[in-house]
Amino acid sequence: MMQISPELAQKRDRLLETLRGYGTCAVAFSGGLDSTVLAKAAELALGEQAVAVTGYSQSMAAGELEECAELARHIGIRLETVPTDELSIAAYRANGPDRCYHCKQEVFARVEEVAKRLGLAVVADGSNHDDQSDYRPGLRVLRERNVRSPLAECGLRKAELRELAAAWGLPVADKPATPCLSSRIAYGQEVTPERLRMIDAAERFLRERGFRPLRVRYHQGDMARIEVPAEQLGRFAEADFRCAVTEHFRSLGFKYIALDLEGFRSGSMNAVLTG
């Protein structure tokens, strides 16, 4: 096992002890870095008394549910999957800045149902210490529903979670953030199944051509705004490639295709928020 710093080892041990104190635990599991580290820690601390729970819906990109299943097998933790129906919530579809709040309410209601059915005492999520300073309206749901966030409670930051993932041999140590597809839709533009499918197919097209990380943002008027790493912007200057992108995106339903010259920026949609 890879060596970690004494400070991180202390936080790791505190995390495992915290989880042991739960007795039994349902881990809200998205397959991202944070929830994967938490699921591994829960498996180490609680063994069969820990269960990973993944909610899935049309806002999940193609292939992510399968990735969650593979990660759970790698960790050795039981996985339960449950459908969620955030698109039935009018406030979620309206896509205001609090969209994530309504999503988390639905997701954790379903996770709690699984925990109750299996007799699990605690529901835990993978929020980390750094999330406390970011714009995350979903965090309010954790307080309202008494969901525990042991990574944050133990002071674990994103960089430390990457280090711990590498030490535990988890294949997500360098995985970029993978927020839901709805986060690509500009605030105020309705979240619809059709728009989610357009975004998913467009990102899959670019991902298959080597772009990582990337985002295809949906804006008013069926406009796609493409974000890729700045060092890869030059590929769009190639006439054949640019034409192929334009043709494919239009076949998906986009009327306008724009390239963001600032390059990939996680959470760029929040730039319009003030106050």
> What sign has the CA pseudo-torsion 191, 194, 195, 196?
positive
CATH number at residue 238: 3.30.300
The secondary element (H helix, E strand) that includes residue 52 is strand 50-56
Region of 173 (left: φ > 0; alpha: ψ -120 to 50; beta: rest) is: alpha
Q: What share of the chain is helix, strand, coil (3-state, %, to 5)?
A: 55, 15, 35
Report the DSSP beta bridge partners of residue 50: 25
Domain match, 150 and 212 both? no
Domain around 96? 6-167
User: Does a structural domain hold residue 253?
Assistant: yes
Domain match, 56 and 162 both? yes
User: Does a structural domain hold residue 133?
Assistant: yes
Domain match, 251 and 198 both? yes
Domain count, the chain: 2
For residues 18 and 43, give the distance between their C-alpha atoms in angstroms, rounded to a whole number.
Answer: 13
Phi/psi for 204 (5° steps) reads -65, -40
Domain match, 95 and 185 both? no
Render pLDDT for 58-82 as a digit per residue (tens, 0 to 9): 999 999 999 999 999 999 999 999 9
Phi/psi for 5 (5° steps) reads -70, 155
pTM listed for this prediction: 0.93
For residues 100 and 46, give the distance between their C-alpha atoms in angstroms, rounded to a whole number.
Answer: 30
User: Does a structural domain hold residue 173?
Assistant: no
CATH number at residue 160: 3.40.50.620
CB atoms within 10 A of CB 130: 16
Domain match, 145 and 236 both? no
Q: What's the pLDDT score for residue 131?
A: 86
Q: What's the pLDDT score for residue 1?
A: 62
Q: What's the pLDDT score for residue 275?
A: 46
CB atoms within 10 A of CB 103: 26
Domain-ending residue, one of 167, 196, 215:
167
Residues of the chain with pLDDT under 50: 275
Contact 140/45 with Cβ under 8 angstroms?
no
Q: What's the pLDDT score for residue 64?
A: 96
Q: What's the pLDDT score for residue 269?
A: 63
Domain match, 71 and 155 both? yes
User: Does a structural domain hold residue 174?
Assistant: no
